């Protein structure tokens, strides 16, 4: 029997400090980034990006937020131009070069400092269901009994 492969995918979380505020407030630039970036990391965009300006109770907390669904999961961004900060997530069930993504995003938004978290999500998610179908069938039978 072949080894069963587990794991859903990689989740890159990037917090950027000292970003170029002009880039953080450019709603068209954020839209263009979300529209083209899936191709750049070899992912499949399945809808146009959704991007909007947010203005909250605290005036300096305004910013641009955007999201694009990809077949492999999603890419999201939230910017805070007055604070020169952004948070960005890339979550994908398909492997991608996280370090190349980090380097490219730092360059695009002219980020001075980053905090990075990379999680492996879904540790028990079976990648190939045919290899574990007997486990699933037994578990379903046990649950219905």
CB of 68 within 8 A of CB of 75? yes
CA–CA separation, 117 and 44 (whole Å): 23
* pLDDT tens, residue by residue, 73-106: 999 999 999 999 999 999 998 888 999 999 999 9
CATH code of the domain covering residue 48: 3.60.90.10
Mean pLDDT of 21-29: 98
* pLDDT tens, residue by residue, 34-67: 999 999 999 999 999 999 999 988 889 999 999 9
The verdict on residue 134 lying in a domain is no
The verdict on residue 61 lying in a domain is yes
The verdict on residue 131 lying in a domain is no
Residues in the chain: 145
CA–CA separation, 145 and 77 (whole Å): 46
CA–CA separation, 105 and 103 (whole Å): 6
* pLDDT tens, residue by residue, 132-145: 555 556 666 777 77
Query: Tokens in use for 56?
Result: 């909250």
- The whole-number pLDDT of residue 133 equals 57
The verdict on residue 79 lying in a domain is yes
Query: Tokens in use for 67?
Result: 């999201």
Residues with a catalytic annotation lie at 73, 78, 93
Greatest mean pLDDT among 2-6, 89-93, 107-111 lies in 107-111
CA–CA separation, 92 and 7 (whole Å): 11
Domain count, the chain: 1
**Domain assignment of residue 71, given as a range:** 9-124
**Alpha-carbon separation of residue 62 from 23, 39, 71, 144 (angstroms):** 14, 29, 30, 51
DSSP-derived letter for residue 2 is: P
The verdict on residue 69 lying in a domain is yes
């Amino acid at each position: 029997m072949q080894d069963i492969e587990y794991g859903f995918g990689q989740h890159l979380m990037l917090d950027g400090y000292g970003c170029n505020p002009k880039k953080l407030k450019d709603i068209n630039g954020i839209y263009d980034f979300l529209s083209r970036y899936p191709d750049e990391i070899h992912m499949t965009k399945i809808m146009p990006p959704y991007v909007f300006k947010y203005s909250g109770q605290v005036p300096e907390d305004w910013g641009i937020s955007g999201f694009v669904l990809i077949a492999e999961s999603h890419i999201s961004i939230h910017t805070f131009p007055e604070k020169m900060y952004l948070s960005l997530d890339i979550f994908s069930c398909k492997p991608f070069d996280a370090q190349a993504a980090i380097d490219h995003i730092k360059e695009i938004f002219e980020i001075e400092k980053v905090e990075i978290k990379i999680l492996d999500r879904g540790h028990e998610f079976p990648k190939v269901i045919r290899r574990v179908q007997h486990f699933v069938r037994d578990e379903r039978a046990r649950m219905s009994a």
